[in-house]
């Protein structure tokens, strides 16, 4: 079976797809593994909007053509699943949660969980996001050095704990922090090794991973049992998972665990890294920072930023959209063709891995003038209207668009706006982060080093002495 984007193309031969040949035996496998982001960016620069390379025994296709990106994610989404290799990577950790799931099972789970992301529920989380950000900043000391990436990981974990479980997880904060760190490292190792070490092999890494999974499972089990015994919908995401039902009944115990584990992982790391890169880009572009500061000072003043204020802060949103274009945390995602496809005049065989990099699509000079320039002003309504569908996909698109997109955009605007309101956005003089394209694009072990400098009249400092300032509930190990 062959699907066509244009039935008239059936009579014409398919367009050739340039090939990165690589090694005679393993093709581009290790070229991609050693320098994944550079491989993709340089490949598109050299070969164009579509190219392929052999990875082990099959071909992977790298695509940034908006028409084909849209066809993969929207038009023919039901014929294109998550790659089997990706499912195998996630399964030991997230089971059959929404991220690795597919088909009818995915559709059922998506339908059950989706009401938890209704705008009214999401909007109700805004005061918590603002409060926790102010708590974090109020605990800082003027002049001290901080790793901004670490601060964001802790903050977003605290936010997701409250909004997901309606708890501060004070007694479990260190357990959860350590477990998530160990699991994330194991996932990165698994993703970067063509032949990963089997999970049953008694390496120290595998032992830590098993302990971390057991610890997370124990926390989730206790929280689910407590919520069930209460029998109360608190308006958080866990209530939706625990109490949601359809004609087949409630989720199974295992499915609840898988979905809650997925929400924890999906709900904080990519948000933390997006905020980290937004901070970095504003620190490097002081004129844009000054413009964002003026907007917040004029529209918000000293009061906390609320959800109704966000529509009055268009430039803040432009800054985040431009950061997501320039340095997207989710820098690549992939799909697998379940049948032969003909998209944009190209032939993609059944089983082909279709890789889409938001990092590459966002740097396509056909649609983004001077793509290496950080220019939030480009994000006008007219610009967005003329941008082809599929040219900008930081949250993917179509049926599998990130379920938490609105949640994340609200959180990031509130957090970044509160930071701009209170402190100078900077990185240490002479410091440059690494750019590691792992599960998410991150600054690596160096972090994002900054110097705390409170702005004159910072709201978190007005009327406070250091002893009165609150301390965040989660600290890094």
> How high is the pLDDT of residue 23?
86
* Tens of each residue's pLDDT in the chain, 477 residues: 455 454 445 568 999 999 999 888 888 888 998 999 999 999 999 999 999 999 877 899 999 999 999 999 999 999 999 999 888 888 888 889 998 899 999 999 999 999 989 898 899 999 999 999 999 999 999 999 999 999 999 999 889 888 887 776 556 667 777 777 777 777 776 665 555 555 556 677 778 888 888 888 888 888 888 888 888 888 788 888 999 899 999 999 999 999 988 888 887 889 999 999 999 999 999 999 999 999 999 999 999 999 999 999 999 999 999 999 999 999 999 999 999 999 999 999 999 999 999 999 999 999 999 999 999 999 999 999 999 999 999 999 999 999 999 999 999 999 999 999 999 999 999 999 999 999 899 999 999 999 999 999 999 987 544 434 444 333 332
* Whether the Cβ atoms of residue 454 and residue 425 lie closer than 8 Å to each other: no
> How high is the pLDDT of residue 201?
61
> How high is the pLDDT of residue 473?
37
Structure tokens at 163: 């909004």
> How high is the pLDDT of residue 190?
65
> How high is the pLDDT of residue 232?
83
> How high is the pLDDT of residue 265?
80
∠ CA 122-117-382, rounded to 5°: 80
């Amino acid at each position: 079976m062959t699907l066509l984007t244009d039935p008239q193309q059936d009579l014409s031969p398919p367009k050739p797809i340039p090939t990165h040949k690589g090694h005679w035996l393993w093709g581009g496998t290790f070229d991609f593994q050693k320098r994944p982001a550079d491989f993709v960016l340089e490949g598109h620069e050299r070969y164009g909007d579509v190219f392929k390379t052999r990875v082990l025994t099959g071909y992977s296709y790298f695509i940034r053509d908006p028409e084909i990106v849209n066809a993969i994610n929207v038009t023919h989404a039901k014929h294109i699943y998550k790659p089997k290799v990706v499912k195998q990577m996630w399964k030991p950790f997230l089971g059959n949660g929404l991220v690795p799931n597919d088909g009818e099972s995915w559709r059922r789970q998506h339908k059950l969980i989706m009401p938890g992301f209704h705008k009214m529920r999401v909007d109700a989380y805004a005061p918590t996001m603002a409060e926790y950000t102010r708590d974090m900043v109020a605990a800082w000391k003027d002049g001290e050095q901080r790793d901004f990436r670490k601060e964001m990981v802790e903050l977003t974990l605290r936010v997701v704990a409250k909004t997901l479980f309606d708890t501060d997880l004070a007694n479990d904060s260190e357990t959860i922090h350590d477990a998530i760190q160990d699991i994330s490292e194991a996932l990165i190792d698994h993703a970067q090794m063509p032949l990963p070490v089997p999970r049953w092999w008694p390496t120290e890494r595998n032992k830590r991973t098993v302990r971390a999974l057991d610890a997370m499972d124990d926390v989730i089990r206790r929280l689910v049992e407590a919520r069930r015994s209460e029998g109360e919908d608190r308006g958080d995401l866990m209530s939706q998972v625990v109490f949601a039902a359809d004609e087949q009944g409630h989720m199974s115990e295992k499915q609840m665990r898988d979905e809650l584990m997925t929400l924890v992982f999906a709900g904080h790391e990519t948000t933390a890294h997006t905020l980290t890169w937004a901070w970095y880009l504003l620190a490097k572009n002081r004129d844009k920072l000054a413009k964002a500061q003026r907007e917040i000072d004029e529209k918000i003043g000293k009061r906390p930023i609320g959800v109704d204020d966000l529509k009055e802060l268009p430039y803040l949103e432009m800054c985040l959209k431009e950061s997501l274009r320039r340095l997207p945390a989710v820098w690549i995602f992939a799909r697998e063709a379940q049948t032969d496809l003909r998209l944009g005049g190209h032939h993609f065989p059944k089983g082909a891995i279709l890789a889409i990099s938001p990092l590459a699509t966002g740097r396509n000079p056909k649609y983004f003038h001077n793509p290496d320039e950080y220019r939030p002003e480009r994000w006008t309504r007219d610009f967005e209207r003329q941008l082809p569908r599929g040219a900008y996909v930081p949250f993917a698109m179509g049926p599998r668009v990130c379920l938490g997109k609105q949640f994340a955009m609200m959180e990031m605007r509130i957090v970044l706006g509160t930071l701009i309101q209170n402190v100078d956005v900077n990185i240490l003089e002479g410091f440059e982060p690494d750019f590691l394209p792992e599960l998410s694009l991150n600054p690596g072990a160096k972090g994002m080093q900054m110097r705390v400098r409170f702005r004159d009249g910072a709201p978190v400092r007005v009327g406070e002495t250091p002893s009165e300032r609150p301390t965040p509930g989660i600290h890094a190990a």
